[in-house]
Structure 1
C-alpha cells in the first residue's frame, strides 16, 4: 500500500509540472462540502492512505503533508508511516497553518492549484488574500483525479426515495413555504442550497449516496415562484417524480447547476459562503446580487417538530433494547477469549438489524480496546483488531439509522480488572457528562458557554480532551449536523428547545486507554422566572452506563442521584420489551449505587 501511495503522489507531481503548478491542496470533502463523502470524491484518502473523515493533504513538487485534528493524531501517524507524507497536528500551537506552510515552501510568482468545487467561497477567498503579498496565484480549475485516478469510482447512482410525512412531521411543500417566508423577511428573492442534509430535509427525500448518511447528491434553488431540484435523472423513479411534482418541485439535471446559475434572472441570491463551493459561486450571473448569510433551513431543521420528537423517543427505545441484548451477550462472550474488536461490531449490527424500522448504521462503529480506545476515531482492521480479554476498558461508539430517528451512543465498558488510573479517569469523565446532563441555562445561551462544565473535573487534574463536547444529530439524516454544538470555540447559534445534541466528554491517553461516555439530549423548556425563560437537557438515549469503573467517593450526592434516576428510567422504559432473563440482567446493571 505504501508503494501505491508513493506512486500516486509521483503521478500528481508529474501532472502539476505539466500544468505549471507548484503545489496542490486536497481536502476531504465533495462539491457539497460534506463531512462524509461518496467513494467518487475520496481523493484525499486515495492519495494518502489516511482513512479518517477529516484531513487535508498538500503536495508540492518535493514535499507532502497531511493536516488533521486531534481525533486522528494516532491513526494518521500509523497510516502515513513510510508514505513520504508528514503529519501536521492541526490545532497545536507549534503547527503551521496550511497557508503559512505553503508560503514558506513556494516562491514568489508560483501557482498553487485547487479544485474549486471542493472548497467553500470563504476558504478560497481567504487563501487568495493570504498569498496576495507573495504574488502566488491560486488556480481553481483543475480536478487532477479525473486524470490520474485509474478506475475512479463512479458518482452514486442509487435511486432516491420518499421520506413519509408520518416520520418527517411536516410536508415538503409546507417546508418550502416556511423557507420562502424566511427569505421574504430577509429581503432576498432566491436561495441556493448545496448542503445535502438540508436538501433531504426540505424535500422529504432520502437516499443511499453516502455510506451511513441517507442523503442524495443534488442542489436546490428556491425562488419566490419556483423550486428547482438538480439531480442525476437516472436517480428518480416514476413515483418520486410524481411526488416532486405534487410538491411543486421542478426537476433539472445535476450537471446543469452552473449553467442555470449563470442565467439566473433574479435581483438577489442568498448563499452561505461557508457551505457553498467556489465553483458554483463563480458561475452566478454577475447581474444578480449575492447576499451572504446562513441558510434559513439549518435552524428550521435543527428544531425538531412534535412528530420527530415522538420518533426520537421510539427509536431510542428500540436502540436501547438492541444495546442491552448486545451488552448481555458481550459479558458472556469475552471470557471465552475468541471475540475481537471486529467480531463484536458484527454482533452489534445483528442486534440492531433485528429492530423495526432499522435502515443501517449511522456511522462506522468505533470499537477500541485498551490502547486503541485512545485513538478517538479508531477503525479496526483485520490486522489491528485486538482480542478482547476480561480486563481493561472497551470504548464502543456506535449508532443506527431508523426511519423515525438517528442514534449515536458511546459506552466505555469495563471488561474486567481496572487500574486505579482507569477508574479515576472514568469517574472524572462521568462527572463531566452529568454536569452537562443536569445543567439549566437561560434563553440566549450558546454551546461554548456551557462546554466548560464537561471539562472542569478533568481540568482540575491537569487533563483535557481536544474534541467538542456535543454536536447536533439529524433525523434519519447525518449523525453530525449543525448548526448548534457544544465546544470550546464559540459558534454563534443559540441552544433552543427541540434541538438534539450529543453529550460526550472523554479522556484519551496514548498507549493506555480511552474513555468516552455519550448520550443524546433534547433541549427542553424548564421554567420561566423574573429573569427570563430557562432550558434544560432531557437525556433521550436509553442504555445503562457501566458502574464498575466508578469511584463513588469522587461523585457528589447530586451526581449519584442523577445516575440512579437515569438508570431507573432506562430500566422502566426498556424492560417491557425484554425477555425475563434480559430484564433481570438489566436490573443488575441499573441498580442504584
Structure 2
C-alpha cells in the first residue's frame, strides 16, 4: 500500500473501534500528557493517523467523514501529507473544531476524547459547548489509536542528567523552598506540576526524552513543606545519586503510580494549585472527583524560571559567543561557496547540515534547539518552513537565503535568523530587508518602564513596515529558556497574547520579518536579555542587552532609507561583533568577518 492507502486503512480501523465503543466522533490533538510544545515520537498520534507531522494540528474522526485542522503555516504541508479524499482541511483558528463538531452531529451524539491529551480549560469549554447541543463528551481510558498503533516506538530510556548548581546557579532545594513559602502564604497545600520544563528547572535535571528539548518527562507534586513527589520512568535514574543531587525530601515513584496519589490528595481534601491551561484534564479531574479543592492559577515555576539568575545569564552569554563563531563561520563558508561557483548538489538540506557541523565543533554543544529553517527563495516565504517535508530546493537559483536556527549548549540555548544575499537581488529586496532591520533596531533600542508587557512593544518592530503598507503574520518575540525550551513563556512580544510584564533576566527573541508568497522571505533575529537601565527622570526603566553577535548582511541594505541613528546602530553593532568574535576566528573566516563588519 502507498502512504495515502495506509492512512485510509488506519482511519477505517479507528472508525470500527469507535462503533464498538458507541462513539460518534473522536478528537485527536497534537499533544502528549504533558501538553508541551514538543512531544516524543511515541506520542505522535496525529502523525500516525493523518500523515501530517507539523507541530500544531488536530483531527476529528466521525463515522462518515474526517477533518484535519491546521493553521496557515501548514496549509500546503497538510495537503501534501494527508489524503484529501479522507480528510477535509480546515483552519485551526478560523474554524474552531468544537463549533464544527456541533454542526456535524445531532443531539444525543457521543464524542470521545483522551483526557490526558487535553487541558482542563479545553475540557470545560468543549463540554459546555457540546452540552448546549445535547452532545455528550466522553472520556476514554484506552486511546483507540494506541490500540491499533502496533509499531509504536517505545519511550526512550536515556539516563537522567543531573544538572549541576554550577550551571543552574541555584540548588533545587532553594528553589523548592522559595515556591513552598509562596504556597504557605496563599494557604495552599500543594501545587501540581505537569510540564517538563518547569519540573526539570525545579529539580535541576535535564534529559533526552524529546528531540530538541533537553528534558526528562515526568510529573510532580510540590507540597507546602517543600517536599515533593516526582513521577518518572525510574529506569532512567540511580535513586541514591538522585537523592544526593536534589535532597532527601523528594520521593520518586513510577509514572503509573500518579493516579493513586492524585486520588489520595483528593481524599485528604487538600487545596491544590493547578494551571488549567497547561495541566491535562485527567490529573485535575481525578483530584477533584476524589475531593480535592482545585485552585486555578499559573504554574508558579514559570516566572522564576523565566527570570534567569546571573549564573544562567553568564552561561547564555558564553553559549551565544560560541554560537556566533559557528554561525559566522557558516556564513563565511557560504560566501566562499558562491564565489567558487561550485555548488552542484548543494541544497537546503546540505546547507543546514553544514551549519550544524560548525556548531558541533563548539564546546558544550548538545543538539539543535529546533529543526533548522533552511529556506531558499520562495520557500523562505513560509515562516515555519521545513525542508524535510519535501524535496529540498537546490542552491544557485535564488537571490535570498533565510536560515533560522539554534542550538542547545550545556550552558545556554540559542536562536538566530539571518537573511543573506546569495544571488542577484532587486531594489525591492533591499527595501524590504531594510524595513525589517529598522524594526529590529527600534525594538533593540527600546526603553520602557517597569510593568510594560511585550504586547505594548510589538508595534515598535512593525512601524517601519506599517509606514510602507506591509506587515508580518507572526509574533515579534518569544521567551527562550536556559538549556531548556527555545520557546518559553510567559514572556512574549506580540500583538496579542501575554500581558505578563517583561522583567529583568528574561530572555526574548527580536525577530520582525516580511514574506512575499511564492517569492521570498526576510527575517532578522537576535536574542536579548531584559535589563535594568540607569535611572533617568522619575521612572525605573528597563531595556535590552544583546546576546547575539553575528553580522547582518549589509549588501541587502538600502542606505537611502536609513536615518543617521540607524546608520550608527548598524556600525556600532558590527564593531562590537568584530570585537567579540575576531579573537576566536582565523584565516579566511577572520578575513570574512572584517569585510562583513565594515562601516556602511
Q: Does the 8 A contact of 2:161 with 2:205 survive in 1?
A: yes
Q: Does the 8 A contact of 1:502 with 1:519 survive in 2?
A: yes
1:382 to partner: Cα distance: 8.3
Pick one of 359, 364, 370 that aligns with 1:363: 370
SS at match of 1:381: helix
Pick one of 25, 46, 49 that aligns with 2:48: 46
Question: Which residue of the partner structure matches residue 481 of structure 2?
Answer: 474
- Alignment pair present for 1:227 and 2:228: yes
1:392 to partner: Cα distance: 1.1
Q: Does the 8 A contact of 1:71 with 1:467 survive in 2?
A: no
Q: Where in structure 2 are there 5+ consecutive unaligned residues?
A: none
1:74 to partner: Cα distance: 3.3
Q: Does the 8 A contact of 2:162 with 2:245 survive in 1?
A: no
Question: Which residue of the partner structure matches residue 158 of structure 1?
Answer: 158
Question: Which residue of the partner structure matches residue 283 of structure 1?
Answer: 286
SS at match of 1:528: coil
1:530 to partner: Cα distance: 4.4
Question: Which residue of the partner structure matches residue 306 of structure 1?
Answer: 310
Q: Does the 8 A contact of 2:60 with 2:68 survive in 1?
A: yes
Of 21-30 and 285-294, more deviation after overlay is shown by: 285-294
CA distance in 2 between counterparts of 1:43 and 1:383 reads 21
Pick one of 343, 347, 360 that aligns with 1:340: 347
Q: Does the 8 A contact of 1:259 with 1:283 survive in 2?
A: no
CA distance in 1 between counterparts of 2:220 and 2:90 reads 36
Of 371-380 and 304-313, more deviation after overlay is shown by: 371-380
- Alignment pair present for 1:449 and 2:456: yes
Question: Which residue of the partner structure matches residue 109 of structure 1?
Answer: 108
Q: Does the 8 A contact of 2:172 with 2:246 survive in 1?
A: no
| Equivalence map 1:217-296=2 (5 Å) | 217-225=217-225, 226-238=227-239, 240-244=241-245, 246=247, 248-264=249-265, 265=268, 267-284=270-287, 286-296=290-300
| Equivalence map 1:69-84=2 (5 Å) | 69-80=71-82, 82=84, 84=86
1:245-264, Cα deviation, whole Å (9 max, x unpaired)? 63531111111111101001
Question: Which residue of the partner structure matches residue 62 of structure 1?
Answer: 64
| Equivalence map 1:424-443=2 (5 Å) | 424-443=431-450
Q: Does the 8 A contact of 1:390 with 1:417 survive in 2?
A: no
CA distance in 1 between counterparts of 2:331 and 2:376 reads 15
1:40 to partner: Cα distance: 0.9
Question: Which residue of the partner structure matches residue 34 of structure 1?
Answer: 36
1:424 to partner: Cα distance: 2.1
SS at match of 1:489: coil
Pick one of 541, 550, 553 that aligns with 1:546: 553
Q: Does the 8 A contact of 2:376 with 2:402 survive in 1?
A: yes
CA distance in 2 between counterparts of 1:245 and 1:208 reads 19
1:267 to partner: Cα distance: 2.7
1:239 to partner: Cα distance: 5.8
CA distance in 1 between counterparts of 2:538 and 2:22 reads 63
CA distance in 1 between counterparts of 2:516 and 2:16 reads 41
| Equivalence map 1:99-248=2 (5 Å) | 99-141=98-140, 142-225=142-225, 226-238=227-239, 240-244=241-245, 246=247, 248=249
1:65 to partner: Cα distance: 2.1
1:415 to partner: Cα distance: 0.4
Task: Quote the RMSD (CA, aligned, Å).
Answer: 1.6
Q: Where in structure 1 are there 5+ consecutive unaligned residues?
A: none
**Structure-2 change in CA distance of 1:377 and 1:310 (3 Å):** same
Q: Does the 8 A contact of 1:189 with 1:266 survive in 2?
A: no
1:77 to partner: Cα distance: 3.6
CA distance in 1 between counterparts of 2:24 and 2:420 reads 49
CA distance in 1 between counterparts of 2:158 and 2:30 reads 22
- Alignment pair present for 1:527 and 2:534: yes
**Structure-2 change in CA distance of 1:36 and 1:280 (3 Å):** same
CA distance in 1 between counterparts of 2:81 and 2:568 reads 44
CA distance in 1 between counterparts of 2:574 and 2:4 reads 48
CA distance in 1 between counterparts of 2:527 and 2:269 reads 42
**Structure-2 change in CA distance of 1:420 and 1:7 (3 Å):** farther
1:59 to partner: Cα distance: 2.0
Q: Does the 8 A contact of 1:2 with 1:82 survive in 2?
A: no
Q: Does the 8 A contact of 1:470 with 1:504 survive in 2?
A: yes
**Structure-2 change in CA distance of 1:233 and 1:470 (3 Å):** same
1:12 to partner: Cα distance: 1.5
Question: Which residue of the partner structure matches residue 537 of structure 1?
Answer: 544
SS at match of 1:107: coil
How many residues of Structure 1 are paired with residues of Structure 2 in the alignment? 590
Question: Which residue of the partner structure matches residue 97 of structure 1?
Answer: 96
Pick one of 15, 18, 38 that aligns with 1:16: 18
Of 310-319 and 530-539, more deviation after overlay is shown by: 530-539
Q: Does the 8 A contact of 1:48 with 1:83 survive in 2?
A: no
SS at match of 1:395: strand
Of 514-523 and 64-73, more deviation after overlay is shown by: 64-73
1:187 to partner: Cα distance: 2.1
TM-score normalised by L of structure 1:
0.96
Of 345-354 and 263-272, more deviation after overlay is shown by: 263-272
**Structure-2 change in CA distance of 1:65 and 1:559 (3 Å):** farther
1:81 to partner: Cα distance: 5.5
1:190-241, Cα deviation, whole Å (9 max, x unpaired)? 0110010000000000000000101111011111232111111111135643
Pick one of 451, 457, 471 that aligns with 1:464: 471
1:119-155, Cα deviation, whole Å (9 max, x unpaired)? 0000000000111211111112141121121211122
| Equivalence map 1:395-434=2 (5 Å) | 395-434=402-441
Q: Does the 8 A contact of 1:161 with 1:240 survive in 2?
A: no
TM-score normalised by L of structure 2:
0.95
